[in-house]
């Protein structure tokens, strides 16, 4: 079963703008744009929400960035594996990815040569769930289940994720 954050916070707007900061990552902008567009589309397809990328962080509801170690929000990253990313509850809008992960973006992570390769789109779909107000789920197939192993791609919402998000939007 899905869960919400305490008090069930949610966004009151139906169109949310997001900005992707490309510093601290070697992944090119076109690939990031494509991966995040696909990840946001999973959630917009099943709700009345719309997402639009903006070039200006000042104008964005959701800011996405890669960071290493201590990056000023009290939640340090820890090098390869361990914590991969984190996001905050509505309407904070910050989505941070550990810059030291062996991210696979746009490629086939199940064929990655590195044991520690992590699929960016899978993590993005999960973290966007948090940004929108979902906590973790107890259903193992769901996107919001709190386990993802390296070299795994998991990007399709389960019925449980859809019920959870439709309960908010
Ligand atoms: N990051 C944790 C997560 O996103 C951070 C976290 C723990 C968290 N508890 C939370 C965020 C409660 C919001 C609310 O779950 S992680 C997974 C999964 C992580 C974990 O790096 O451990 C995914 C990132 F689900 F597989 F465990 C992405 Cl997909
Ligand atoms: Ca890490
Ligand atoms: Zn952070
Ligand atoms: Zn999570």
Q: What residue segments make up the domains of the chain, in order of their start?
A: 15-166
User: What is the per-residue pLDDT for 45?
Assistant: 98
Place of tokens 């550990």: 98
List, as ranges, residues with CB under 5 A of the ion ligand 2: 78, 82-83, 98
List, as ranges, residues with CB under 5 A of the ion ligand 3: 73, 75, 96
Q: What DSSP line would sit under 56-87, residue for residue?
A: -GGG-SEEEEEE-S--SSS----SSSS--EEE
User: What is the per-residue pLDDT for 13?
Assistant: 96
Q: Which ligand 1 atom is nearest residue 84's CA? A: 21
User: What is the per-residue pLDDT for 42?
Assistant: 98
CA of 48 to the centre of ligand 1 (A): 25
> Up-side HSE of residue 25: CA atoms within 13 Å toward CB?
23
Q: Residues near 122 by Cβ (< 8 Å), separated by ≥ 6?
A: 109, 148, 152, 153, 154, 155
**What is the pTM (predicted TM-score) of this model?**
0.98
Catalytic: 127? yes
User: What is the per-residue pLDDT for 159?
Assistant: 98
Ranges of the chain whose pLDDT falls below 50: none
Q: Is the ipTM of this complex over 0.90?
A: yes
Question: What residues flank ligand 1, with Cβ below 6 Å?
Answer: 83-87, 122-123, 126-127, 130, 135, 146-148
CA of 87 to the centre of ligand 4 (A): 8
Biggest alpha carbon distance in the chain? 43
The protein residue with its alpha carbon nearest to ligand 1, atom 8, reads 86
The CATH label, of 3.40.390.10, 3.30.950.10, 1.10.3720.10, 3.40.50.1100, for the domain at 15-166 is: 3.40.390.10
User: What is the per-residue pLDDT for 126?
Assistant: 98
CA of 166 to the centre of ligand 2 (A): 31
Q: Which ligand 1 atom is nearest residue 135's CA? A: 14
Q: Residues near 2 by Cβ (< 8 Å), separated by ≥ 6?
A: 134, 135, 137, 139, 142, 144, 160, 161, 163, 164, 167
User: What is the per-residue pLDDT for 130?
Assistant: 98
User: What is the per-residue pLDDT for 167?
Assistant: 98
Query: Taking phi first (over 0 means left), then psi (-120 to 50 degrees means alpha), and beta for anything else, what does residue 114 get?
Result: beta
CA of 81 to the centre of ligand 2 (A): 4
- At residue 133, the 3 state secondary structure works out as coil
């Amino acid at each position: 079963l899905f869960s919400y954050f305490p008090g069930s916070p949610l966004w009151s707007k139906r169109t949310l703008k997001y900005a992707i900061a490309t510093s601290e990552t070697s992944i090119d902008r076109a690939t990031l744009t494509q991966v995040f567009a696909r990840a946001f589309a999973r959630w917009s397809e099943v709700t009345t929400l719309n997402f639009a990328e903006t070039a200006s962080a000042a104008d964005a509801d959701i800011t996405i960035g890669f960071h290493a170690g201590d990056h000023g929000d009290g939640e340090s990253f820890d090098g390869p594996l361990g914590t991969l990313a984190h996001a905050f509850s509505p309407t904070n809008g910050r989505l941070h990815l550990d810059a030291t992960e062996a991210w696979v973006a746009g490629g086939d992570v199940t064929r990655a040569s590195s044991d520690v390769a992590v699929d960016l789109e899978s993590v993005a779909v999960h973290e966007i769930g948090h940004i929108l107000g979902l906590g973790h789920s107890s259903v193992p197939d769901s996107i919001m289940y709190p386990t993802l192993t390296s070299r795994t791609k998991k990007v399709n919402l389960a019925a449980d994720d859809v019920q959870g998000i439709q309960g908010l939007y």
